Amino acid sequence: MNVSSLSLSNAHYLISRIENKSKAREKIKELLKLVETLSIHKSTVEKAAYSEFKDFEDAIQNFCADEHGIKLIVTRNVKDYSKSNLSIQTPREFIAAFEKDYRH
């Protein structure tokens, strides 16, 4: 699974608010064993800045995925990606599709 470096930063922030910074760092280390991290380049930020996305962070996630050839974003905020050219699914939709594909 691929995630942007921004996703890891966001995860660290959220975990540190619930737990503490030390626990957040440990969780990120565990997560790094499971995912590939995609870099965010200046071109990614430029595309986000000039895009029609309402949410800048979502725009960065979108263009990061696009620049790395990722075709699908899984998010709880599907409506925030209405300007995206990528396939956008909720976690529930993604899991249902995954289970359907691998049952056969």
pLDDT in tens, the chain (104 residues): 899 999 999 999 999 999 999 999 999 999 999 999 999 999 999 999 999 999 999 999 999 999 999 999 999 999 999 999 999 999 999 999 888 888 76
User: CA 25 → CA 4, 39, 40, distances in Å?
Assistant: 17, 19, 20
Residue type present at position 11: A
> Which DSSP category does 39 fall into?
P
Question: What span, in angstroms and rounded, lies between the C-alpha atoms of 72 and 51?
Answer: 19
Q: Are 60 and 48 in contact (CB under 8 A)?
A: yes
